Amino acid sequence: DDITAELKRLESDVAVVDARIARDTERLAASSNPKQAQGFESELASLTRRKSDLEDMEIALMERLETADAAVSEQEALIAETNAQGAQLSADAKTTVSDATTRLEGARRDRDAVAASVPTDLLSLYERLAARGNGAGLLRAGACEACRMVLPPSDLATVRRAQTDEVVFCPECGAILVRTEESR
């Protein structure tokens, strides 16, 4: 915008110089006084140099304007590309959120189905424990998967002696130990 404004100012200056050249040329043609004619010729030569300088500055400004226009076009293309990438990322994020919401709803349905088959007192105990951290963890190869701690042999022996329907807790984290064939 600054270059365009400067270019318009120079074009206006050239128009003023052209008008002065035309006026002085008419005066020179109408002049009969040699001294006055010489003054007009000198002023015409000065105006011609001024016009040439102004036109040179116009050309330089036009070149700068072309360079600036090219830079603006390049930035506009970059903005358009960035906007397109943003739109794609936004669409991808919406798809990811939708997929995660669908999976969460499925997991909640599965949990509700499993929770319906668990005795209410055991479910209440689990939910209380889960509210403060891990509610339960699989006992696998002598380690509690809730806290990732390997149980000492004495605690492991106590867990193994417990009845299969008895609720057993991890001595480290307090989570319910889920025992399977892998627990032995």
- Give the three-class secondary structure for 17: helix
Same domain, 67 and 156: no
User: Is there a domain that residue 60 lies in?
Assistant: yes
Calpha distance 143→183 (Å, rounded): 8
Strand ordering across the sheet containing 176-179:
149-150, 143-144, 136-140, 176-179
For 145, half-sphere exposure in the C-beta direction (CA atoms, 13 angstrom radius) is 11
Same domain, 8 and 52: yes
Give the distance, in angstroms, between the CA of residue 120 and the centroid of all CA atoms in the same chain: 48
Q: Which of 44, 46, 53 is nearest to 13 (CA)?
A: 53
Q: Which of 148, 123, 119, 117 is nearest to 135 (CA)?
A: 123
Calpha distance 115→62 (Å, rounded): 77
For 109, half-sphere exposure in the C-beta direction (CA atoms, 13 angstrom radius) is 6
Same domain, 91 and 144: no
Asked whether 155 and 113 are in contact (CB, 8 A), the reply is no
Calpha distance 67→62 (Å, rounded): 9
The residue among 65, 99, 133 that closes a domain is 99
Residue corresponding to tokens 């669908």: 102
Q: Is 2's pLDDT higher than 90?
A: no
The residue among 64, 99, 134 that closes a domain is 99
- Give the three-class secondary structure for 140: strand
Report angle CA 34, 38, 57 to the nearest 5 degrees: 160
User: Is there a domain that residue 110 lies in?
Assistant: no
Calpha distance 161→164 (Å, rounded): 9
For the chain, give the mean pLDDT.
91
pLDDT digit string, tens, across residues 139-162: 998 899 999 999 999 999 999 899
pTM given for the model: 0.46
Q: Is 184's pLDDT higher than 70?
A: no
User: Is there a domain that residue 152 lies in?
Assistant: yes
Q: How many domains does the chain have?
A: 2
- Terminus-to-terminus CA distance in the chain, angstroms? 80
The boundaries of the domain holding residue 88 are 2-99
pLDDT digit string, tens, across residues 5-50: 888 999 999 999 999 999 988 888 888 888 888 888 899 999 999 9
pLDDT digit string, tens, across residues 39-90: 888 999 999 999 999 999 999 999 988 999 999 999 999 999 999 999 999 9
Same domain, 62 and 137: no
